[in-house]
Structure 1
Amino acid sequence: MYTRNVRKSKGAMVYALCFAIVFSLFGASLASAAEPSDYLIPQNLNATDVKADSVVLNWDPVPGNDSNLGYQVYMKVGESGGWGWKAWSGFSPKLIVGLDEEKTYSFYVTQVPEAGKQSKPSNIVTITTPKADPTELPPAPLTPPQYLRVSSVVGSDVQLSWTPSPNAVGYEIYRGESWFRWIEGGATTSTTINLQDLGLQDGDSVNFRIRAQDSKRLVSAMSNRVTFTVGQLAAPQGLKIVSANQTSVSLGWGPVQGATSYEIYQDGAPIGTSASNRFAATGLTDGQAYNFAVVAKNESWTSEASAPIRAVPGSDYNLVTYYTSWARSETARNYVPADLAAANYTHINYAFLDFCWAGKDTSGDQCQNADLPLQKDYVFDGGIVLGDPSFDLANFSEFEAVKAANPQLNMIATVGGWSWSKNFSLMAATEETRRNFANTAVKVVRMYDFDGLDIDWEYPVSGGADGNVHSPDDPQNFTLLMKTVREALDAAGSEDGKYYLLTIASSQSDSFTVNADFANSTQYLDFVNIMTYDFSGSWEKLAHHNSPVYYDDEHPYKRPRSTVRGGALGHLNSGLPAYKLVLGVPFYGKGWAGCPPQGQYQTCEGMGEGTWESGLYDFYDIENNYVDKNGYTRYWNEKSKVAYVYNPETKLWIGYNDKTTMMYTTSLVKTLNLAGVMSWDSSSDMNNTLSTQLAKDLPYGGNLNAGELLPPTNVSIAGAAMTWEPSVGAAGYEIFRDDVYVGYTTDASYALTGLTPEQTYKFHLLAIRKDGEAITEVSAASQSVTYQAPAEPSDATAPVTELLANGAAVAAWYKAGNISISLTASDNAEGSGVAKTFYRINGGSEAEYSAPFQLSGAASYTVMYYSRDNAGNVEQEKSVTIKVDSIAPATKFSVAPVWATKSGVKYIKGYAWTLKATDNAAGSGVKEIKYRVNGGAWTTYTSPFVPTSASGSVNVEFYSVDNAGNQETVKK
């Protein structure tokens, strides 16, 4: 979560700030290396108000300088240190904070005349900070006693109790406006008053307050006032649904002054009691309407029942979003409260308020402000202050109309955030500062009409922004802080007849539940908004998803825990009740530049430009400018249920959670039985696409989601096939094995394949509703079914290998040349399968067969071969001889009777021809003899023949072929 409290536009201002960051990394040598000499230089730099930790720098403004570009301040520590960027300022003077006492610092200033440019440096000014003066800050006043309340009423004796004040030596009790009693002892926590001694009778009203006194007889401010009527208790006021899921409803109400316990009624029947003004009704039925009421009690008196409230589990979800103070900036987002789709939300967390430390807020500005009623005097350590008064006051005023038009809305003041969590550890470390934080929280809540407080401490013990203070005592102090704030809000609620909410934002890491002491702290919290996003970011160059709902086993990091589901389960496993967990969703994506195709899981060059900040893209910006537009193609990660876009020309990749992702997110909320969703932040969804989908899937106000797609039922597995009862309206079903997506089917059954024998698996499925190819609804998950894959059947039979030569069974003889040998092995039908096949040639080395190989040459070959199956059965080695014949046979002829010769010509008419062929001794043998007469058809020779010719002239040709295919040259 980010505190983006600097006003900036997407143009020059953003560039100037980015420019400043670049200079902070590369040093001052860049400031003057390549800048034109004609830019005006700031003049007369001087230092005033030098303190142990700060100094004010002043200079003559450069005529015509744009305050959106402003000035860069550079600093050097000591004489030998190097220059580095320190700060940016739109104007002179500039307060520089974060200095160390008794140390020498030098400064110079440059002008930013245009984006990406700087002037030459101003003159240099050098200061030495003094030693810190512990008496410089005014001493904190004595803390008033906390949460004065009636703890017992027995007869006429009324016991008042409170949480004691640090450094107190005793307490003054006031009746009405008059001093009533002195109580000795700073650790005292109660006093008993006899009403009869005061002459009070039934029907008489009385009120008390208390204040602490220290050893110097200085007194604290007054505690809250306790008012009650003797013999009576007022009916509880402000009964509200704090959170709810499908089986529970958590209730809260304003504490009744004089009450020591409460009885809770469900549909007119008592279901439980509570010592506090909170109660969770559990074991309820999803979709059934219930009426709840509360009766206040003490040992002697009983109130009338409160006004009833109707609740419907599964239809009273919390839809929380953050509205940021800077969203209204006219030069940037220009998003005001009236632009909010308020009907899509139940809670608005207003971000951010800050708190004071050593007289200054986290940004280093003085907390005391004459224009702000709660800050007109010195603000002591821990005192809550406005984060950006110029925006805050306008926003507070405009939210009045938004709340009036949307009575379901709870406005929550949020303190801290990423940028303003530096001093939480210091503030939480002492009771005095915890009290001041809590007491000023009550003042802020009342003055600006908030419904509670949200604490965003990022983070206790470790993590967060650079420079944050941490302590190993943070866990216990976190719990003490929550307890203190809870008491302060309840004390205010007892006076106002209202229930004030207390929530936190939590990290998605499992370590947060330990560092925030969930085992003890969450009893004081109404719900926890888990920030299940930022699983990726600028600290790495791998383009992967900001908020994957489920695990993708193809992710290179192989971290099943790093998902929305994993974060939620981590919180639930810590013991946090499911009705107190609100699941965080991002209304922004993250983008990387310089990515190889298709971007996802690729190593890129760095972060993309972003909508307002580097690497961060508001969803409305993605929706308007990137999804299947401007050369970008949308893709879908089926396993993680998140979307991404990529452009092969720009090489920009953006991963984001879209409308479909919201459906899977709300499905997960229902599957884990959580209390709702929280989004960061509302201005990033200006088209209201995401918030509208969330409000549709997670209704509030007891409005049932008619026609909701229900999960499949009666899921079972038999014979390696999973079957189920179909869901009405479902187009298909998604199958998950061990919570990883493995397939989709439109049937009501699914074959389980690819399982390891004897391993146990867990299967569940989601029903999917579609409009064409577009998903329109995702059900909650079905019940999970476990299944143990059967053991491998016993296999005692070796595989069988077949050898083919030139694609056929081995022949007796082959002609010399390339002979292609292939081996094919098969196992028995129920066997374990062929593992490997081996061969060797002419008794040579054994080789593993992978593809057909060639035999060449004129020699004969002996090929030995066999196979082995996965059970270890080995085939008996086989042998085949490939006989090769490279010499053609020779054919001779004879005639009978003998040749006759006349005038040099041989005459053969009427003479019989005999042909005889012989092969080489080791050859394959003569296969056939061919002959033809006078160029006629070739004829197979079988017996002597007498050639004839019409002309009387005879020309005989002949040759032989052996069994290997060698052919003799034709003879004449």
Structure 2
Amino acid sequence: MRFGHRAAAGFATLLLPLAGLVGLADSAHAAAEATSATATYTKTQDWGSGFGGQWTIKNTGTTAISSWTLEWDFPSDTKVTSAWDASVTNSANHWTAKNTWNGNIAPGASVSFGFNGTGSGSPSNCLVNGGSCDGGPTVPGDNPPSAPGAPTASGITDTSVKLSWGAATDDKGIKNYDVLRDGKTVATVTTTSYTDSGLTAGTDYSYTVQARDTAGQTGPVSGSVAVHTTGGTTTPPPPGGKVRMGYFTDWGIYARNYNVKNIVTSGSASKITHINYAFGNVTGGKCAIGDSYADYDKAFTADNSVSGVADTWDQPLRGNFNQLRELKAKYPNIKVIYSFGGWTWSGGFAEAAKNPAAFAQSCYDLVHDPRWSDVFDGIDIDWEYPNACGLTCDSSGPAAFKNLMSALRAKFGKELVTAAVTADGSAGGKIEATDYAGASQYVDWYNVMTYDFFGAWDAKGPTAPHSPLTSYNGIPKDGFTTADAMAKFKAQGVPASKLLIGIGFYGRGWTGVTQDAPGGTATGPAAGTYEQGIEDYHVLKTACPTTGTIAGTAYAHCGSNWWSYDTPATIKSKMAWANSQGLGGAFFWEFSGDTGNGELVSALSSGLS
């Protein structure tokens, strides 16, 4: 999870610098292809402080298009901050996008690229390959259709759902409708209803509809409807609320002196729904105990015990496991999940992936040991990273993670099965190395580790927020943001409701810094209580108060030290963004970084809706 979690350098650039005028397509190219392409724009998301947009370029001609250039104007207050699947530049308010890998468009086919932006404006004066985006040579012609009404769902079964929607309008007439499931077209129909079948039981889906006119132009996407199929073995989030989950570390009871009881005394127990207990080991292809003394042997005194009663030498179960049992007795709504792996022990998953069924059996036997079988409500897998590199490199292949999660689901049945996953949203990065979409059918949710993007492992800097929500001018690596990671997962096919946003209850920092704003040089990691370059929030809030915010995360410059960390205010803004994205909730690493009165947990819990 967090200890040793590093963002590797050297990822491919996703978006070229948004500056400088890009030359337009040459006149011969424009003349040849101007009337054979259209372009339509859709605002895909809006989270208040920013938005997501998508352009779709369609070849409406009879010959293939070999490349494309799209131009449009935004009002002065509206800007593109990051993009994917296109190279986007600007000169003042005029924006230009050129194809990257997706220049070839066959007749009748289309390609899309997306971007994140700030501001409230809409594009105007659109040109594609020098011609009007609606298919006319230089002047507006046929208007695209309107958005259909948001679909409604009925007749939901284990494997199917009937969708109906209000008709779109168009000045020349509607030809048909595309039905999109989780952002991907699954059918094209001429009526205003469709029954989608072949679905997975007990699974969340999101549906939208898009109209096409007689000229082949597509209009904006409709509003969405969420569908949860009946049956199945997965466990949805608690009724009436999002997942609010925190990590409790077995080693926290030592130097940090943070015990399960502190979850109660801080007021956090009443504000969470789940706890991930970290970590169990993965060795020899099996799940194993991580720290037997902390886990089930340490005797807690009365003042450190949830129940207020001291452990005895001869009681059947002591340690953190017994404290978690006492916690659940006081707060029966809390579910506890046993998490295996983490940065240090993820090297064991390569052996486990060779025999997923045997691994799942070993984990089931350990989680359900008769001594603590009532403590845990499921299992979490923290593999850093399947088919990619963390502390060690894995070459199990893109299907290994899916196979492992499938085996765990088969063994654990209706119990919780979750996984902590990478937040590397860069082009060619870790998300693309694994079939997370295929595995998502077997998990209740993914804990997306949207922190530790930047830190003092790059000893000279540049200083940068370790948990940016969105991109910003000067970000050291494109794609290293929460928004990029979530967009990448959703584009791959992972339902938004199975994605949890991650919050670090700590900061990362450098020393030898003279510049207040991000992007400064440094001489090395700042001193920390337990590790260089890292410090708990409850220390930083007074030792180095915030100077400003960047990309949704606070930063602080005090003396020669520069830190970035989340505060109650930035956490609330991130929760608002998570709500707008339809995410399944949030989690944090980890309890001991919070204040004694749990102010970060309070901000996270109250911010979700």
CA distance in 2, matches of 1:294, 1:519: 20
Residues 158 and 229, structure 2, Cα contact 8 Å, conserved in 1: no
- Tell me the equivalent position of 1:681: 590
| AA aligned opposite 1:675 | G
Q: Cα distance, 1:600 vs. partner?
A: 3.0
Q: Cα distance, 1:283 vs. partner?
A: 7.0
Residues 429 and 474, structure 1, Cα contact 8 Å, conserved in 2: no
The question of 1:349 aligning with 2:261 is answered no
Residues 438 and 484, structure 1, Cα contact 8 Å, conserved in 2: no
**1:34-45 to 2 correspondence within 5 Å?**
none
- Tell me the equivalent position of 1:475: 398
The question of 1:528 aligning with 2:451 is answered no
1:531–1:612 Cα change, 3 Å = same
Q: 1:326 aligns with which of 248, 251, 260?
A: 251
CA distance in 1, matches of 2:440, 2:366: 19
Q: 1:552 aligns with which of 466, 472, 477?
A: 472
Q: Cα distance, 1:549 vs. partner?
A: 1.5
| AA aligned opposite 1:580 | K
1:603–1:388 Cα change, 3 Å = same
Q: 1:666 aligns with which of 575, 586, 591?
A: 575
CA distance in 2, matches of 1:275, 1:599: 49
Q: 1:692 aligns with which of 580, 602, 606?
A: 602
1:650-694 CA deviation, whole Å, 9 max, x = no partner? x11111111111122012102211111111111111331111011
The structure carrying a bigger strand percent of its residues is 1
Q: 2:202 aligns with which of 270, 273, 278?
A: 278
The question of 1:392 aligning with 2:295 is answered yes
1:68-106 CA deviation, whole Å, 9 max, x = no partner? xxxxxxxxxxxxxxxxxxxxxxxxxxxxxxxxxxxxxxx
1:311–1:443 Cα change, 3 Å = closer
Q: Cα distance, 1:272 vs. partner?
A: 11
Aligned length: 375
**1:482-497 to 2 correspondence within 5 Å?**
482-490=405-413
| AA aligned opposite 1:535 | F
| AA aligned opposite 1:644 | Y
Q: 1:598 aligns with which of 503, 516, 519?
A: 516
- Tell me the equivalent position of 2:2: 2
1:318–1:435 Cα change, 3 Å = closer
Residues 354 and 416, structure 1, Cα contact 8 Å, conserved in 2: yes
1:867-901 CA deviation, whole Å, 9 max, x = no partner? xxxxxxxxxxxxxxxxxxxxxxxxxxxxxxxxxxx
1:392–1:560 Cα change, 3 Å = same
Residues 248 and 579, structure 1, Cα contact 8 Å, conserved in 2: no
- Larger RCO: 1 or 2 (CA < 8 Å, sep 6+): 2
1:919-956 CA deviation, whole Å, 9 max, x = no partner? xxxxxxxxxxxxxxxxxxxxxxxxxxxxxxxxxxxxxx
- The SS at the match of 1:660 is helix
- The SS at the match of 1:645 is strand
Q: Cα distance, 1:642 vs. partner?
A: 1.9
CA distance in 1, matches of 2:501, 2:487: 11
- Tell me the equivalent position of 1:505: 420
| AA aligned opposite 1:640 | A
Bigger Rg over Cα: 1
Q: Cα distance, 1:514 vs. partner?
A: 2.9
1:499-534 CA deviation, whole Å, 9 max, x = no partner? 301111111114333323123211111111100111
- Tell me the equivalent position of 2:377: 451
- Tell me the equivalent position of 1:412: 337
- The SS at the match of 2:493 is coil
Q: Cα distance, 1:437 vs. partner?
A: 3.9
- The SS at the match of 2:578 is helix
Q: Cα distance, 1:481 vs. partner?
A: 0.8
1:444–1:622 Cα change, 3 Å = farther
Q: Cα distance, 1:416 vs. partner?
A: 0.1
**1:413-812 to 2 correspondence within 5 Å?**
413-431=338-356, 433-440=358-365, 443-444=368-369, 447=373, 449-465=375-391, 468-471=392-395, 473-490=396-413, 499-510=414-425, 511-540=429-458, 541-542=460-461, 543-553=463-473, 555=474, 557=476, 559-598=477-516, 600-627=518-545, 634-637=546-549, 639-648=550-559, 651-687=560-596, 688-699=598-609
Residues 462 and 470, structure 1, Cα contact 8 Å, conserved in 2: yes
CA distance in 2, matches of 1:293, 1:580: 14
Q: Cα distance, 1:431 vs. partner?
A: 4.5
1:208-256 CA deviation, whole Å, 9 max, x = no partner? xxxxxxxxxxxxxxxxxxxxxxxxxxxxxxxxxxxxxxx999xxxxxxx
Q: Cα distance, 1:574 vs. partner?
A: 1.3
- The SS at the match of 2:602 is helix
CA distance in 1, matches of 2:333, 2:277: 16
1:177-228 CA deviation, whole Å, 9 max, x = no partner? xxxxxxxxxxxxxxxxxxxxxxxxxxxxxxxxxxxxxxxxxxxxxxxxxxxx
1:754-791 CA deviation, whole Å, 9 max, x = no partner? xxxxxxxxxxxxxxxxxxxxxxxxxxxxxxxxxxxxxx
| AA aligned opposite 1:477 | A
- The SS at the match of 1:488 is helix
CA distance in 2, matches of 1:422, 1:588: 25
1:483-513 CA deviation, whole Å, 9 max, x = no partner? 11110001xxxxxxxx301111111114333
Residues 442 and 488, structure 1, Cα contact 8 Å, conserved in 2: no
1:249-292 CA deviation, whole Å, 9 max, x = no partner? 9xxxxxxxxxx97999xxxxxx99999762437679xxxxx9x9
Q: Cα distance, 1:434 vs. partner?
A: 3.3
Residues 442 and 489, structure 1, Cα contact 8 Å, conserved in 2: no
Residues 464 and 475, structure 2, Cα contact 8 Å, conserved in 1: no
| AA aligned opposite 2:422 | S
1:444-465 CA deviation, whole Å, 9 max, x = no partner? 5962521111100001122111
Residues 584 and 678, structure 1, Cα contact 8 Å, conserved in 2: yes
CA distance in 2, matches of 1:613, 1:694: 26
Q: Cα distance, 1:625 vs. partner?
A: 2.7
CA distance in 2, matches of 1:619, 1:408: 27
**1:231-242 to 2 correspondence within 5 Å?**
none
Residues 565 and 668, structure 1, Cα contact 8 Å, conserved in 2: no
| AA aligned opposite 1:342 | A
Structure 2: segments with no counterpart, 5+ residues = 5-150, 162-194, 209-225, 297-318
Q: Cα distance, 1:556 vs. partner?
A: 5.6
Q: Cα distance, 1:398 vs. partner?
A: 0.7
TM, length-normalised to structure 1: 0.36
| AA aligned opposite 2:270 | A
1:676–1:431 Cα change, 3 Å = closer
Percent of residue pairs bearing the same amino acid type: 28
Q: Cα distance, 1:643 vs. partner?
A: 1.6
The structure carrying a bigger helix percent of its residues is 2
- The SS at the match of 1:423 is helix
Structure 1: segments with no counterpart, 5+ residues = 5-246, 250-259, 265-270, 285-289, 297-307, 358-380, 491-498, 628-633, 700-972
1:442–1:397 Cα change, 3 Å = closer
Deviates more, 1:576-585 or 1:274-283: 274-283
1:410–1:283 Cα change, 3 Å = farther
Q: Cα distance, 1:610 vs. partner?
A: 1.1
1:336–1:652 Cα change, 3 Å = same
CA distance in 2, matches of 1:567, 1:294: 29
Q: Cα distance, 1:598 vs. partner?
A: 2.3
1:611–1:568 Cα change, 3 Å = farther
1:602–1:279 Cα change, 3 Å = closer
